Structures are given as C-alpha cells and as structure tokens.
Amino acid sequence: MPRLDSQDRETLDSLLERGLLDAQEHARAIRKAERPRRFGVTSTLALAVIVGLALGPAPLIADQLALDEGAIAGKRLQAQLGAMAGAPGLAKSSAEAELKLTATVVVGKESISLDGGATVIKLEETPEGLKIPDDEQKGQLISKLYDGLMDAHERHSMLDALRTGDGDFRGEILIAADADTPFSVLRSVMYTAGQAQYGDFQIAVQNPWMGQSTAVETSLPAIGPPRAYGYADEDEKPPLSLSMFLSAKGISILGADMVLHPDGFRLAAGEEPPATVPCTKSDGCIEVDDFDWEEVSRLLRLIKDEYPDDQNVIIVPESDMSHDVLIRAIDVARWAPLPPDPEKGESAHSSWRESRSDTFPSSVIAGGAL
C-alpha cells in the first residue's frame, strides 16, 4: 500500500515544477517515501528528510522549503487535530509566528500523542482536572514521551540540516495543547522535551485576527519560583528581573519593585504579599476574562518606560492554572496596547498592528514546581 499521502505528493510535485527536483530525483524520492520506514513516520516531516537525503542540504532547497513551511505545518497540525479523539481546542492569541515542521506533541482532552502517530499516553480525569497517570511519570519526566522523542531525534536532526545547511540540531519542538490543559501537564511535557534535547518551544495557538494557527515562541523553562519582593538600594538602580506569577488570587508582577513600589513595600512577619493586580472574584480567578489584563498591561508599560532595553519576562503559572490564561499572559506581556476584540474586524486589527510597540516580547515559562 502506498505510504505517500496527497499532501506529501503535492509537496514533491511542487518541488519538481519549480525546478528544485528533476524527474529522476522526483521518482527516487517517491520510491524512498513508499518504502517501509524504520520510525513509521508518514508526514511531510519525513518527506523533507527524504528530499534532504536525495539532494543534500543545498541552501536553495532549504530557502524554498522555508517559504512553504508555515502553510504545510499548519495543514499538518489541523489534520492531526482532526484525526485525534478529544482533539484540543487551541488557546487564542495575537502571536504571529509561523508554525514549523518539527517534532509535534499534541496534548488533547484525553491523551498525548507525538508526531501525529498513535497515542503516547492516556490522560487521567480527576476532580481537580486532567493529570498524567502516576505510573507514566518519573518525577516530571513522562517516560514514553521521552522515549518517543529520543527516537525522533535523528529524523528531526536531518530536517534541520535540510533547512539550515549546517547540520546542527536546533532542538525545536511544537506543542499543541487544549486551552483548558492545566499547567502541571504542560510543565511535564516541556520538561520531558527538554530532557530529550528539545529546548526551543513553539506553542500552537489560534490567531482569531489572522484566522489561522500560529505559534508562541519560548525557550527551555526556567527552574524555580519567581523572586520574592525585595528592596532597591537607594543609590543604585537595580537590574530588572521581571516575573509574572499567575494564581487564583490574581497576577503578581515581581522583580520591578523600584517602579511598582517606589516608596518601599514591607510585609509583616508571616504575611503573604497580595497580588499586584488582585482578582476581584470571591471564588478566585479561573477563566481568562476573570483577570484585569488592562491593568497588567498598564503596569508593564510603566516598567518598560524605566527599563527600555529589557526584553525578557518569566511567566510563572500555578500548577492548576489553565493553558489559555498562560497564553494570554504572554500576549499581554509582548505588546502594548492590548489587541482589539476580533469582532471589530480587520481594520481595527490593522490599526493596532501599526500602532503597537514591544514591551517584553521574550517570554520564558517557569518550569519549577511552586
């Protein structure tokens, strides 16, 4: 039975039409694609590796494939989501980065899968929400996912050679997670990927303004909790070490006390610091709309005015914080002002894109247990 699906064939045919493959190379790539493969991969990712083996990492090939990579990766992801039982509904975001053809982990409503293949593990439903079964984990490490990612390492290394021409493994991975996924699950997925040498993360989101899947880009999570409230030396401007702690009590902005508390901030012994932007709901903030993002954005702009060259922020969610709240926090930290409501249409979105400015566009998701 042929192993080359219609999208794979379209990609090969496109390369032939553009003169990037001749007829002999085209036929050879198809033959290779239809042979039984050691890893059992039937995706454009494997196709790109096959083409790379046939042609070598010529810069022209890498550049041409890069032009199509976002569209192909988007189609691939949608196909994976459509075929998955309990497929995730992606969090909404104003992120605009194109998806990449790389290792893909999908965290659905029922299970976790890798590279569009069979389920890696089933998730467990508990009164507190989804969790990874205890017998599937060693600490934060998801054993079967780690094994799968290590097996995938070779083919993704070859794809990197095709794209970059240098043969260096870039360690990029795409994670698509349901908006309601608790951070405890996402944290274990990211930790496992990091242990398998994948350190640059794309998180798939749905951009309602662009009408397509895009990606939030972040790096290997920081380990450990955010910095506590401190005191600035009166004679020296302290360096910025900005963190946003997301909890049911609201959002705490840490590491910028000189801006947020210029007159000092002291707590009684044993007293917990209040959230910088408190939750106004008596039962705690749970949904995205429960948080005062306008006030968060205003405070981040004040900090940016004082530290114009700083780009980084560490996002620290509580373990049970949902994925869509995490994505919104990254969004709010990245640009100011906040994007308009998608219902206001393309003109409002275009105006926002022209007027927006960077605040803290480089986000790192903290991975240490809190």
pLDDT tens per residue across span 55-105: 333 333 444 444 467 777 888 888 888 888 888 999 999 999 999 878 899
Report pLDDT for 136: 94
Asked if residues 84 and 179 have their Cβ atoms less than 8 Å apart, the reply is no
Give the Å distances, CA to CA, from 350 to 11, 301, 346, 355. 32, 21, 6, 9
CB half-sphere exposure, 160, CA atoms < 13 A = 17
Q: What residue has token string 């569209």?
A: 71
| Rounded-to-integer distance, Cα 235 and Cα 1, Å | 74
Average pLDDT over residues 13-20: 60
pLDDT tens per residue across span 249-287: 999 999 998 899 888 777 777 777 889 999 988 889 999
Q: Read off the pTM.
A: 0.78
Residue 248 pLDDT > 90: yes
